[in-house]
Chains A and B, each alone.
Chain A
Amino acid sequence: MGRIWTMTAADLKQRIRDRSVIIFAIVVPLALMGILNLIIGGAEEGTELGDMTVAASVPQGDASADGVLSALEGIEGLSITVNQVDEDRARADARDGTATVGLLIPEGFGAGLSSGEGCDVTVIEGDGAGLEGQVLTSVLTGIVDRFAAATVATQAAGALGVPAADLQDIAQDVTTAAPSISLTDGQASDEQLSDSGALVAGQAGLFLLFTVGFGVLSLNAERDQGTLPRLLSMPMRPSAVLISKGLVSFLLGIVATTILLVAGGLMFDVNFGSLPAVALLVLSVVTAATSLMFVIARVAKTAEQANIAQSIIAVTLGVAGGAFFPLAASGLLGRLLDLNPVAAFIRGLGITSGGGGVADIAGPVLIMFGFAVVVGVISRLVPDRGTSL
């Protein structure tokens, strides 16, 4: 054990001295997180629906139009403010984002409804209307549809000879009908990271695949530069060299990932949740990533080949795992993508940030350790071209 530690310590000392590990494992990912966070920050959607403002241009004395507005204000669970303005102002407010949307109800809206000739309402979505804009559009559509349904009912009733005096009541009945279908709210466990959280987790996962290379893949470099024969001539088992390289990868991975999660969390105000659970996730993803390096180290003939193979695998797993943007695949492809340790890591952090503990992350942790075992076995089976003399 003393010799393994000696080799591990010497390796760590050298990696820190040549600074490349610091650049690749810490500086670049933090810089990228910063930049990408700035970008999504500009477009970020909050965790709650905000207050909505409707700049409405409504014809004077049109009861139906007034009905639309009062229906709008009466929607439960949403905070909607209606400002009555003229048409130009409604357009301008929508365009510059003063109002969430602009609403233009034309002259003759009520008459059109009652005559059955129809009269279209216009919704203007402007800068940053976002989700709130979509919600308002959908609500307004629902209201107008209701008025249209009332028109159909009164027309049908008229045709059937219902007295004109009752028609008003029929319209009233339709527009205010008690719902025959109601919605109850169910709850699903929250397993999602915020946008910033996903960014931090993704970049940490992606760059981990580079960081762990600084341990195991130095085997190929040592063979190229000639220090491997000397190490193998020392009075110790050859496996000691492999173990120490694995240990270097593992330690660098743990330290770098921890720094990235902590620094990223502080910089972008992300809380990843339960500390023991997050620690377990870091441990598992670093194990999975390190196991992959042993395959590369054995298959690659030179240090250069090893670095290329590593970069390719890192960016492929990183992108497929959702390091830059989530890939929303379902079915078989979705299951396949789930087996990627980067994806499992991000998912696990989603569960912990949603309040999950160690027991809740069993799935992702098993995927990562399973990955490590399978890849570890593969690394024993592939022809050894890179780490033997």
Chain B
Amino acid sequence: MAGDEDQVGDTRGAVDDVLVVDGLSRRFGELRAVDEVSFRIAPGETYGLLGPNGAGKTTTISMVAGLIRADAGTVRVAGQRMSPSHPQPKRHIGLVPQDLAIYPELSARENLVFFGRLQGMGGADLKGRVQEVLELIGLADRAKDKSKNFSGGMKRRLNIGIGLLHEPHLLILDEPTVGVDPQSRNSILESVERLSTAGMAVLYTTHYMEEAERLCDRIGIIDTGRIQAEGTRDELIRLTGGVDQIRLAGTGDLTHAIESLRELPAVEQVDHDGLALRLTVHGAPTAVAEIVTRATGAGMSLADVEITRPDLESVFLQLTGKALRD
């Protein structure tokens, strides 16, 4: 049982972390599907595993959720060791598999009640919670319809609703937006954001860079079974030397504006290329409001503001030498 006692030496707030994955490995024959993967998720944090198809995301999630055994390494959820034969820690997770894991012959309510019972819920508690979730996923008025008659988006929402039913500490979403129309996709992303705000820890796998950027507090870039790099979006981009840029086009007192802008802590550098000001910035989306205020306050009249951020696509390309989607 290697790794069982090594909680003491942790550097980040180990005691509070909802999920601690340490040195997880799994082979399929000769293939090292997952190779020494480690990461942690704190309460309220959304962690993204970003990688192409076949990178090892689903195998990692299967071990985290206790579906399959790990060859090496440990998974702890809310401090409890996870393994296929230990039912107890599974109470703390809600898994939303990539496929539509719902029973088509059962209604939305029956699906929720069924999985709720398997989670050990019952009575008025289950009944009340099912109603809450039905309203949350917007299926309250279709609760009695067989789910095989639902649209794709409705099925997806039900699929996620089942994972939320027992209010787990950790919600695991495996590529929940694959094959989903843009509208449903947006509603899924919004609900994940809401949950995260409400304090739920989320493990989110995707091969869509935009989703990882939008949702995830921290991202692990995974390829060929290994975590290639990990951090916040900005940390990852800085890791590869990429920086945010803001371009301010306009007229007025540009010299004063440049001086005023250089005083801001988020601004690293300001250049003037004749037509516009070009700023190198940390965290452009949060800093842009203040930058605009400063620039106009300093007498510049703005015609156009443009933010350019290096994206995770380029990070991935640089780390692995291949594109994220192919």
Contact = CB atoms under 8 A, between A and B. Distances in A.
A230 B68 CA distance: 12
A3 B115 CA distance: 10
A233 B117 contact: no
Interface string A9-21: 0100110011000
A230 B165 CA distance: 13
Contact of A235 (B62, B90, B103): B90
B105 interface: yes
B106 A10 contact: yes
Interface string B210-232: 00000000000000000000000
A229 B105 CA distance: 18
Given A14-B105, A237-B87, A225 B100 contact: yes
Interface residues of A, number: 24
Interface string A214-239: 00000000000111011111111110
A18 B162 CA distance: 23
Given A18-B105, A237-B85, A389 B114 contact: no
Interface string B93-129: 1010111111101100010001101111000000000
B106 A14 contact: yes
Interface in A10-57: 10, 13-14, 17-18
Contacts of A388: 68
Contacts, number: 81
A7 B118 contact: yes
Interface in B40-72: 62, 65-68
A389 B97 CA distance: 12
B70 to A, nearest CB: 13
Contacts of A227: 99, 101-103
Contacts of B88: 235
Contacts of B105: 13-14, 17-18
B84 interface: yes
Contacts of B100: 225-226
Contacts of A229: 62, 65, 67, 95, 97, 99, 101
A389 B91 contact: no
B118 A389 contact: no
Given A7-B118, A229-B67, A235-B88, A389 B62 contact: yes
A231 B117 CA distance: 12
Contacts of B67: 229, 232-233, 389
Contact of A233 (B93, B98, B99): B93
Contacts of A232: 65-67, 84
A186 to B, nearest CB: 59
A18 B117 CA distance: 23
Contacts of B87: 234-237
Contact of A13 (B95, B101, B106): B106
A236 B103 contact: no
B203 to A, nearest CB: 12
Contact of A14 (B62, B89, B103): B103
Contact of A3 (B91, B95, B101, B118): B118
A388 B120 CA distance: 24
A10 B103 contact: yes
Contacts of A236: 87, 90, 118
Contacts of B117: 2-3, 6
Q: Lowest 3 A-B CB distances belong to which pairs?
A: A226-B99, A233-B95, A230-B101
25 contacts: A3-B117, A6-B117, A7-B114, A13-B105, A14-B103, A225-B101, A226-B97, A226-B99, A229-B62, A229-B65, A229-B97, A230-B95, A231-B118, A233-B66, A233-B95, A234-B115, A234-B118, A234-B119, A235-B89, A235-B118, A235-B120, A237-B85, A237-B87, A238-B85, A388-B68
Given A10-B103, A389-B62, 13 more contacts: A3-B120, A6-B117, A7-B114, A10-B106, A227-B99, A229-B101, A230-B95, A230-B115, A232-B84, A234-B115, A235-B120, A236-B87, A238-B85
